[in-house]
Amino acid sequence: MLNHEDLIKKVKTYNRFFNPETLSKAYTFALNAHKNQKRDSGDPYLIHPVAVADILSDLKLDSATIATGLLHDTIEDTKTTYKIVEKEFGKEVADLVEGVTKISELEGKIIENSKAENIRKLILATSKDIRVLLVKIADRLHNMRTLDSISNEDRRIRIARETMEIYAPLANRMGMNHIRDELEDLSFQKLNPEARK
């Protein structure tokens, strides 16, 4: 897991004008917000938002988007509110975090027999800022990379199918071919391991 200094160094390699204090503050904020939470694997929860921020920095995105990657689960999974994020990080980051939260809430309400194309359109329509989709795709990519840590097989299959039908095509539409390929490969590995071999 990257520490905040390594993340800042990585961003500095492509963006000399960003504010390192914002990223450092977002890292510390996420650490404190998720401090008592664990992932299904038993690892500290912070590993996930840091991995999402790392993926976003691989894409050479701006510091507001990377801060959003660090904070993307705070409104949804902790006692943090939109107002707190806005007060600490400004309206831009708060709006991005709220946008990612709305997509996550949509996922929870998706009906099994909804057509994937309709769900993709709904996600696109609710995302006012393209950066929300970039964070959500990075979030899904890390979740797929760690899918085997989820003990419930039905949940793993549901996530893999959702990824194959919704998030890989969204990544494709956005021209993120290497991420689309990895999402498809990880999904295929879970949905049809024999065919993948």
- Catalytic positions are 76-77
Contact 30, 75 (CB under 8 A): no
- Residues with Cβ within 8 Å of 39's Cβ and at least 6 positions away in sequence, in order, are 45, 47, 48, 146, 149
Looking at the chain, list the stretches that DSSP marks H as alpha helix, in order from N- to C-terminal side: 4-12, 20-33, 47-58, 63-71, 74-77, 82-89, 91-109, 116-126, 130-145, 153-162, 168-173, 177-191, 193-196
Whole-angstrom distance, CA of residue 28 vs CA of residue 33:
9
DSSP assignment letter at 174: T
